[in-house]
Amino acid sequence: MEKKHGFFSSLKQEVIRTLSPSRSRGGSPMSGLLRRKKTGGALTSPPDPVVWRSGSLRPVGGALAPLMEGPDPDGGETGDPRRNNGSALGQWVKGQLYRAPSVSSAACRRSDLRVLLGVLGAPLAPVHVSSLDPLPLLSIKDTPIETSSAQYILQQYTAASGGQMLQNSVKNAYAMGKVRMTTSEFETASKVIKNRNSAHAGGFVLWQMDPDMWYVELAVGGSKVHAGCNGKLVWRHTPWLGAHTAKGPVRPLRRALQGLDPRTTVSLFADARCVGEKKLNGEDCFILKLCADPQTLKARSDGPAEIIRHALFGYFSQKTGLLLYLEDSHLTRIQCGGGDAVYWETTINSFLHDYRPVDGIMIAHSGHSVVTLFRFGETAMSHTKTRMEESWTIEEVAFNVPGLSEDCFIPPADLRSGSISDISEFHPDEREKSALALSAYRAKVAALEKADDSCTDNVTWRMEV
């Protein structure tokens, strides 16, 4: 019990220390938690009695150690170099002496990592939901059977995951876990390449707070992606694009839907339809389908990049009522200049496992995602398919953490406008083509506005991707 007290006392001090609006924006407000060094003993001040916590909490030094020790073979940034031990450093040096350097291999690993982080770093849900919106009441009169069935399934899920009263008492939440990502397969029209040497291990920290605020840091393979939402805009920072806002309405983080946030999951599927039943790993499940509306898709599109559809399927167990599987699929069309359009279909299938109660709320403590990127459209024989995988485990969960405030979700000061699409973040060739097309698109708009308004002669049109 002393160790748990010490963790939350340290957590409270760290959060309060970072709440000042004048703090440096060079690092995230939660990054200090990932760099905390192990202290000699637990602090004696007791935690706030309203804090809920999982049984897996450990001292800060043990739970939040750096993700990698020793130099990174790819030349990326790793954890605190002061924590490197002589054994790890000696093994790395010995390994470098007995193998020839491979620039192409390192470049491939960095490219694979960029694809992984671009797709799995901080994906968002299809539609906007708010914790302030009331949940729908079960209604049969003048309601289609698909909708009323979905509402009944969601009520069963709410009851199975802890109940609405208990979930509404949660004002903020914290979760920390480990991830392992890999690019397992690359397929073209003529061959299939199996990749068994592209695994990247790391971890993530997720914070949430009412209303509609969240922040996530994910560090894998020496690179870090962090994203957040202050309730009004969603932003993301990647090593290759810097900080930029996401287009369209504010949407929840998909990672929170993977068994970590039952209340947001219910709100998200509130307008879904029940489309059938299916047996999943020997267990009968109801299937709920949610589709983004045309207005949301249009708001998320930009210039030559058009999001055609985005659908989410949830598989809820008929036996336990819990969410066991998520299927997320969206299709993007990119018009590259005057040439043929290129289509990107991204599908993320996630299995949720190991549900355990954390002070009465059922949380999935592990899971596995399989991602497929399918590119087609130029010619029949030019399609490519990339398969990626992610496994995660949840190490710690806590609710109603004291000291957490809105200041912890302030976006970076150097935000840029939204990128063309998610595709442009991890496919440089499409990004370059789309950038040229977007430049021509905006130049055409500029010419039209210049003709209508003679006062815009000195306007400079700057492309931000």
Helix and strand numbers (H, E) in the chain are 12, 15
Fold observed for domain 116-417: outer membrane lipoprotein receptor (LolB), chain A (2.50.20)
Q: How far apart are the C-alpha atoms of 436 and 457, rounded to whole Å?
A: 23
**Residue 420 near residue 304, CB atoms below 8 Å:** yes
* pLDDT of 3 above 60: no
Q: What is the tens place of the pLDDT at every residue in 205-240? A: 999 999 999 999 999 988 999 999 999 999 999 888
Residue range 247-252: average pLDDT? Answer: 92
Per-residue pLDDT tens over the stretch 113-168: 888 898 999 999 999 998 777 766 666 666 788 888 999 999 999 999 999 999 99
Q: Where are the domains of the chain?
A: 2-111, 116-417
Cα 420-416-348 angle, rounded to 5 deg: 45
Selection from 275, 285, 274, 268 nearest residue 323 by Cα: 285
- The predicted structure's pLDDT at residue 443: 53
**Is the predicted pLDDT of residue 441 greater than 80, yes or no?**
no
Q: pLDDT at residue 92 above 50?
A: no
Question: With pLDDT > 90 as the criterion, what percentage of the chain qualifies?
Answer: 45
CA 425 vs CA 13, 147, 304, 377, 428: distances in Å: 36, 36, 15, 20, 7
Is the pTM higher than 0.75? The answer reads no
Q: Report, as an integer, the average pLDDT of 298-321.
A: 93
- Of residues 67 and 388, the one with the higher pLDDT is 388
The Cα 117–Cα 97 span in angstroms is: 30
Sign of torsion, CA 260 261 262 267?
negative
Rank 22-36, 73-87, 147-161, 416-430 by mean pLDDT and report only the highest: 147-161
Share of the chain above pLDDT 70, in %: 63
pLDDT > 60? residue 383: yes
Closest CA to 422 of 369, 346, 348: 346
Average pLDDT, the chain: 75
